[in-house]
């Protein structure tokens, strides 16, 4: 019986995995859909030649929680291939009700040594009904896990920390990030950073991307720590949920000092920004201090849109995308003609995309409603008010 070359088998399984993955919506926290996991798991039992490559995809992203750690190591020990070496993304779900909250040191060191291609870690800390004096206990484990992974996984470049159920001390964020020398992307998904005595950090990874959903008041401490470093990270991508505040804030100071490095900016709560005549905003200052900005994404109330766009200093901007969180039927008038005139100025000659969308709400049945997007820049009346933008082809195409 003629055998298929292993390279061809790998190519077939790779393409099948990609095609199946595209057909399923992602599960929470970026993990593959359960149906995809089941299908890829079945492929490994077709024949022995299919087993390694199917497991390569199946174990690319692994979620660990106190209840399944022993199972992972048991499966790895029984396998005829090094399953742990396939892990590229590791999701660690800490529990305040478990002891230890997750991995023992020996298990963690084994993972670090085996996961030679590990490049992303997602740490999730949740409050599970334990006594309040127990809530902060997992934070020491965050620090110890990061320290071991930082010393054993040299390719680890992306860290995500999720902490919606309780405040995360800023000191822990600084220690954890400082433990990962190759870190390039830091994402903080939560509501609040706990303030207090912060450690003296003399060095910090040269992160290039920072994304956060935490409150601005909590971000003050983080950016305050960055600007006091001897060598502050030069962030190229910044995505913030809240960026309102005064011009003496730490965020404003960061943009004044290091705004030249920023190429991609996302502000996800425009509703908090003051409109023209109601004071200055950190967002406007940020746009004035980022001459190399390439892409801009705004989200919230579009009422101050023209005022905010007028502050843009970059002549390299290629994309402006705006998402209004107000239902389109309740939208205040938007000065499309004035925006069209603004976009015709010389500093916007590099612009290739300008798009403004809004939420819509429509009845799917008597029992449920569903949100969808209305693209203003595809509406006939808006395109009539923006003839210069239409002529340049920077508005989204309209299907005939």
CB atoms within 10 A of CB 70: 10
Dist CA 370 CA 362 (whole Å)? 6
DSSP state of 32: P
Give the pLDDT of residue 235.
96
Dist CA 46 CA 245 (whole Å)? 59
CB atoms within 10 A of CB 45: 10
Quick one: CA dihedral 346, 349, 350, 355, positive or negative?
Answer: positive
Coil, helix or strand at residue 218 = helix
Dist CA 137 CA 97 (whole Å)? 10
Dist CA 282 CA 301 (whole Å)? 16
The side-by-side arrangement of strands in the sheet containing 89-95 is 61-64, 89-95, 120-126, 158-163, 185-190, 209-212, 237-240, 264-267, 295-300, 319-324, 353-363, 369-375
pLDDT tens track of the chain, all 400 residues? Answer: 467 788 888 888 888 788 877 777 666 566 777 777 777 888 777 787 888 888 888 888 888 888 888 899 998 998 888 889 999 999 988 766 555 667 888 888 888 888 888 999 998 886 555 444 454 555 777 888 898 888 888 889 999 998 876 778 888 888 899 999 999 999 998 877 776 556 667 778 899 999 998 865 678 888 888 898 888 899 999 998 876 667 788 899 999 999 999 999 998 866 554 444 333 578 889 999 999 999 999 988 777 889 889 999 999 999 999 988 776 666 678 899 999 999 999 999 999 999 999 876 544 444 344 456 788 899 999 999 999 999 999 998 886 5
Instruction: Determine the Cα angle at 98 with ends 94 and 102, to 5°.
Output: 40
> How is 184-210 classified by DSSP, letter by letter?
-EEEEEES-EEPSPPP--S------EE
Are 289 and 256 in contact by the 8 Å Cβ rule? The answer is yes
Coil, helix or strand at residue 126 = strand
* Structure-token pair, residue 349: 């000659």
Is the preceding omega at residue 100 within 30 degrees of 0, hence cis? yes
* Structure-token pair, residue 272: 């908090």
Dist CA 400 CA 395 (whole Å)? 15
Dist CA 28 CA 189 (whole Å)? 13
Strand ranges (E), 89-200: 89-95, 120-126, 158-163, 168-169, 185-190, 193-194
Give the pLDDT of residue 315.
96
* Structure-token pair, residue 108: 């963690």
- Listed in sequence order, the DSSP H helices in 196-302 are 216-227, 250-258, 282-288
* Structure-token pair, residue 275: 């409109």
State the number of CA atoms in the 13 A half-sphere of 81 facing the CB: 16
């Amino acid at each position: 019986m003629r055998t298929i070359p292993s390279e061809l088998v790998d190519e077939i399984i790779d393409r099948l995995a990609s095609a199946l993955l595209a057909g399923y919506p992602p599960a929470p926290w970026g993990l593959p859909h359960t149906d995809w996991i089941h299908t890829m798991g079945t492929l490994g039992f077709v024949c022995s030649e299919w087993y390694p490559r199917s497991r390569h995809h199946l174990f690319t992203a692994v979620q660990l929680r106190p209840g399944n750690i022993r199972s992972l190591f048991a499966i790895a020990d029984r396998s005829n291939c090094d399953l742990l070496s396939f892990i590229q993304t590791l999701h660690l779900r800490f529990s305040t009700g478990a002891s230890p909250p997750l991995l023992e040191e020996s298990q963690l060191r084994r993972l670090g040594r085996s996961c030679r291609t590990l490049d992303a870690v997602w740490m999730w800390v949740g409050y599970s009904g334990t006594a309040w004096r127990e809530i902060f206990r997992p934070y020491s484990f965050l620090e110890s896990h990061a320290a071991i992974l930082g010393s054993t996984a040299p390719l680890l470049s992306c860290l995500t920390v999720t902490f919606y159920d309780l405040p995360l001390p800023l000191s822990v964020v600084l220690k954890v990030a400082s433990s990962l020398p190759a870190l390039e992307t830091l994402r903080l998904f939560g509501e609040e950073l706990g303030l207090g005595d912060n450690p003296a950090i003399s060095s910090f990874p040269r992160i290039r991307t920072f994304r956060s959903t935490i409150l601005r008041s909590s971000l003050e401490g983080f950016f305050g720590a960055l600007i006091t470093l001897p060598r502050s990270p030069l962030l190229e991508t910044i995505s913030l949920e809240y960026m309102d505040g005064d011009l003496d804030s730490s965020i404003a100071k960061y943009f004044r000092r290091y705004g030249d490095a920023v190429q991609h900016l996302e502000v996800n709560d425009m509703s908090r920004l003051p409109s023209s005549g109601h004071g200055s905003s950190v967002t406007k200052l940020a746009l004035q201090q980022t001459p190399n900005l390439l892409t801009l994404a705004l989200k919230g109330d579009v009422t101050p849109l023209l005022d905010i766009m007028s502050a843009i200093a970059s002549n390299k901007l290629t994309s402006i995308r705006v998402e209004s969180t107000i239902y389109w039927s309740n939208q205040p008038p938007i000065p499309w003609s004035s925006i069209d005139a603004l976009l015709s100025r010389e500093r916007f000659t590099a612009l290739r995309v300008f798009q403004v969308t809004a939420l819509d709400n429509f009845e799917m049945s008597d029992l449920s409603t569903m949100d969808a997007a209305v693209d203003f820049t595809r509406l006939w009346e808006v395109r009539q008010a923006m003839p210069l933008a239409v002529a340049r082809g920077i508005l989204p195409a309209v299907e005939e």
